[in-house]
Amino acid sequence: MNLKDMCPEKLLSPEESVKKIKNGSRVFIGTGCGEPQRLIKAMIENPAIQDIVIYQMLSLTLSRYINDENFLSRFSIKLFFISVLMRQSAFEGKIDYIPVYLSQIPKLFESHEIGLDVALIQVSPPDDHGYCSLGISVDITLSGMNNADLVIAQVNPEMPRVWGDGMVHIDRFDYLVEYQEPILQSMPGIKNQTVIERIGHYVNMLVDDGATLQIGFGHLPDAILPYLSDKKDLGIHTQVITNGFLPLLKANVITNKKKSYLKDRVIASLCMGSKELYDYVDNNPIFYFKSSEFVNDPNIIANNDNFISISSALEVDLTGQVCTDSKGYLFYSGIGDQVDFIRGSSMSKGGFSIIIIPSTAQDEKVSRIVPHLSEGAGVATTRGDIDIIVTEYGIAEMRGKSIYQRVMELARIAHPKFRKNLIEEAKKRRYIFADQLPPTSQDLLFLDRYLYSKKLSTGKNIDFRPLLPSDEFESRNFYYSLQEDSIYYRFFNKRKVFSRDMLQKQWAEVDYRRNMTIIGLMQLGKRKQIVAIGSYAEADEDSAEVAFLVKEKLHGMGIGSFLLDILESIAKQNNYKKFVATVLAENRKMINVFQKKYPSARFLRSLSGEVEVEMPFETDPS
C-alpha cells in the first residue's frame, strides 16, 4: 500500500513529527530491538523539546545520549527493566527504575496510573488492507500505543511482519514517518563456557521430551538452549525469542506438537537477536506474538501442561530467597518475567521452575549462594515460590523442603570452597543443628555417571542415584517405614530409633569410591520417596562389604538384583574384585538374591547363625 496515496495528511518527516510532542509530555517508546531509532534521534536533537518523561521497557538507543548533560537536563528516563547498556547509568543515578511484573505494566497504562501523552513506535509497512505489524516488539508496546493520546509510528521496511496481536491498522496512528534503517540487533556474550556446559548438562536432565518451556532474559538462560538439542517435541511459551532458539527450531527439536494450550505455535511477545533471527520470524506462522499481559499471565501460563520456567538470578540465600534486579543497593536489571512464569509453572499440571545461577562471581572470589542477601538487595522471588536451583555443581530441589533441608541442598551445589563456611553461617542463624556436618568439598559431577532407572512390572519407574547429604530426612522416613523384620535382617537387632547421628554418619562416610550408597526413588505426586537403599564399603584392598534394603511391598520385583548390578559396576570401576556380606541365616530372600546374582558365591555359616558370603565378580573377557 502506498501511504502517499492512502493517507498523505499523516505523512511527516522525522523532524516534523516530533514537533507534535509538547513540552512536559510523558512519552512511551517501543521496546528494545523494536524501538524507532530515527524518531528517538529526531526527538533528542530538537532543542525545543523540553522536560520530557520517557517510559520504556528495554532501552538501547538512549544509551548513546545518557552521558550528555544537555540530554539529562531535558529528559527523565523511567525504565521497567535495565539493559546492559543502561546499567552503569542506573548505578550513577541517571535513570529511574520502576520495579513491576511485566504482566502488570499494560494495566498500569490502561488504568492511567502511568499516563501516556505520546507513543513512539516502529512498524512494518501496511499490507493491502492497511494493516501494519508491530513486529518484534508487541510486549508492552501494544498497550503503550493503545493508551497514548498521540501515536507516531516509524514505518520501516526492515521490520518483520509477525503473526499475532501486533497487527494494527494505519487508522490507529496519528502520524507516520517512512524511514528505512537496520533493526537493532542483540547478541548476548558468552562468559564462562565451562560453567555454561555444566549448568546445561543439569538442565538437560530436568527437561523431558514434550515439555513446554519459558526461557528468561539474560545471557545464561539463552546459552543453555544448545544443551537441549537431544530433546523431542519441545513447546515454547516465553516472553522473548532469541538466537538461542534458532538451531532448535531448524532441527525440529521445537515443534509445539505436544503443547496442551495454543498447540503448534511458539507464543512470545518480543524478539531480540540477529538479522538471521528476524528473517526467520518474518511472516512465519509458527510464531504468534501476543502482548505481555497475556503471555506473562500466570493463569494463561498454567494452561500449558508440563510447563518448565528457566530463568537466572544474581544471588540466592540459604532459605531460597532470590534476587534478580539489584546488586546490593545498585539496580542491575529488573523483576521482568521471572515471578509471572514461576507462579504459572507451579500451577501447571506437571510443571515446575528452574533458577540457574553460576556458583560464584568475580573470578570465584564471591559465592552467589549466600547466608543472606546483600544489604539493599531486593527479593524478586520469595522462598515460598522456589522449586529447583541449578549451579554448575548440581541440582537443589527446594519445593516443600524445610529450611534445614534447603541449607543442605544449597550448600551441596555451592562452590566447594564456600560450602564449609555456608554451613557455619547457617549454624549461627539456627537454620541447622549445631552438630551438622558439612557436605563434601569434592566436585561431584562424576556422580552423573551413576544415574539409572528401572521400569517395574506395575508400569512405575524407580530412579537410582547416589545418596546425598540432603537425603538425610528422606532416608529417615524410609527406615521408619520398614517392617520390624526388615530392620532386624539389615541391622541384626530390632532397632527402634534412626538418629540424626546415625543418618549423618551414613552420608558423611560416603566418599563415592571406597564407600558408595545408591538410593532408589519412586514418584509419589510431585515428590519422590526413597524405596530402596544399597551400599558397599571397603573391606580390604580387593573386596567391599555390600548390603541393601527394599521396601517390603516391592519385594520380588528384581530391585535388589538391580541394585547389586549398579553397585558391582561402580565397585569394578574402583578396582574391587568381589563383594562380601554377612547375612542372618533366616534371611532367605537376601541369600536367594545373592545366589541368583553370583552362582559361584561361597556361603559359610557360623555358629552364631550368621552366613558369611563371598561373591567374586566375573572377569570381563575384554
Judge contact between 292 and 165, C-beta under 8 A: no
pLDDT tens digits, 92-103: 999 999 999 999
| Residue 438 lies inside a defined structural domain of this protein | no
169 and 201 belong to one structural domain:
no
| Total domains present in the chain | 3
pLDDT at residue 505 greater than cutoff 90: no
Residue 35: all three cell numbers together = 524501538
Res 494: pLDDT:
63
Extract the C-alpha cell encoding 479: 527406615
Q: What percent of the chain has pLDDT over 70?
A: 97
Q: Which three cell numbers stand for residue 179?
A: 524511514
Instruction: In whole angstroms, give the CA distance from residue 210 to residue 254.
Output: 9
My answer on whether 459 and 526 are in the same domain is yes
Which CATH number does the domain housing residue 472 bear? 3.40.630.30
Q: Is residue 436 part of a domain?
A: no
C-alpha 73/C-alpha 57 separation (Å) is 21
**Residue 463 one-letter amino acid:** D
Q: Are residues 418 and 564 in the same domain?
A: no
Q: Tell me what the mean pLDDT of segment 446-462 comes to.
A: 89
User: What share of the chain has pLDDT > 90, as a percent?
Assistant: 77
pLDDT confidence bin for 194, thresholds 50/70/90? very high
| Residues 233 and 166 grouped into a single domain | no
Residues 350 and 383 in one domain: yes
The whole-number pLDDT of residue 458 equals 83
pLDDT at 493 over 70: no
pLDDT in tens, 401-443: 999 999 999 999 999 999 999 999 999 999 998 888 888 888 8
Q: Is residue 15 part of a domain?
A: yes
Q: Express each pLDDT in 161-188 by its tens digit.
A: 999 999 999 999 999 999 999 999 998 7
Residue 161 lies in a domain: yes
- The verdict on 422 and 559 lying in the same domain is no
258 shares a domain with 165:
no
Give 36's contacts (C-beta < 8 A, 6+ positions apart): 29, 30, 120, 121, 122, 153, 154, 156, 177
Same domain, 155 and 264: no
Could you list the residue range(s) of the whole structural domain that residue 497 is in?
452-616
In sequence order, the β-bridge partners of residue 56 are 79
* pLDDT (0 to 100) of residue 620: 63
The answer on 288 and 143 residing in a single domain is no
| Last residue within a domain, chosen from 134, 153, 178 | 178
pLDDT value of residue 622: 55
On whether both 157 and 8 belong to a single domain, the answer is: yes
For residue 186, tell me if it sits in a domain: no
In this predicted model, what pLDDT tens digit does every residue of 263-305 receive, in sequence order? 999 999 999 999 999 999 999 999 999 999 999 999 999 999 9
Do both 259 and 398 map to the same domain?
yes
Q: Using CA atoms, how far apart are residues 457 and 455, in angstroms rounded to an integer? A: 7
Residues 6 or more apart whose CB falls under 8 angstroms from that of 248 comprise 225, 228, 229, 234, 254
Other CB atoms within a 10 A radius of the CB of residue 560 amount to 23
Query: Among 133-147, 224-238, 518-532, 576-590, which stretch is predicted with the lowest mean pLDDT?
Result: 518-532
Domain-terminating residue out of 151, 178, 205: 178
Residue 482 lies in a domain: yes
pLDDT of 384 over the 70 cut? yes
User: Quick one: pLDDT at residue 267?
Assistant: 98
pLDDT band at 229 (very low <50, low <70, confident <90, very high): very high
The domain that holds 25 is classified in CATH as 3.40.1080.10
| pLDDT, averaged across the chain | 92
Enter the C-alpha cell of residue 568: 558391582
User: Does 571 reside within a domain?
Assistant: yes
Residue 490 has pLDDT above 90, yes or no: no
C-beta of residue 310 within 8 angstroms of C-beta of residue 216 = yes
pLDDT tens-digit readout, 39-85: 999 999 999 999 999 999 999 999 999 999 999 999 999 999 998 89
Q: What are phi and psi of 230, to 5 degrees?
A: -90, 0
| Residues 238-253: tens digit of each pLDDT | 999 999 999 999 999 9
Quote the cell numbers at residue 517. 550408597
Grid-cell match 506395575, residue found: 458
Which of 494, 605, 516 lies closest to 566 in space, CA to CA? 516
Task: State the Cα angle at 40 between 100 and 137, rounded to 5°.
Answer: 50
Q: Is 187 contained in some domain?
A: no
In this prediction, residue 215 has a pLDDT band, given cuts at 50, 70 and 90, of: very high
Average pLDDT over residues 482-503: 72
525 compared with 310, residue with greater pLDDT:
310
Segment 21-32 shows an average pLDDT of: 97
Q: Which amino acid is at 351?
A: G
Whether residues 169 and 209 share a domain: the answer is no
Q: Provide the pLDDT for residue 393.
A: 93
Coil/strand/helix, residue 331:
strand
| pLDDT tens digits, one per residue of 341-369 | 999 999 999 999 999 999 999 989 999 99
Q: At what angle do helices 559-573 and 588-597 cross, to 10 degrees?
A: 50
Which of 190-194, 423-427, 590-594 has the highest average model confidence (pLDDT)? 423-427
For the domain that residue 240 is a member of, what is the CATH number? 3.40.1080.20
The pLDDT, as a whole number, for residue 489 is 66
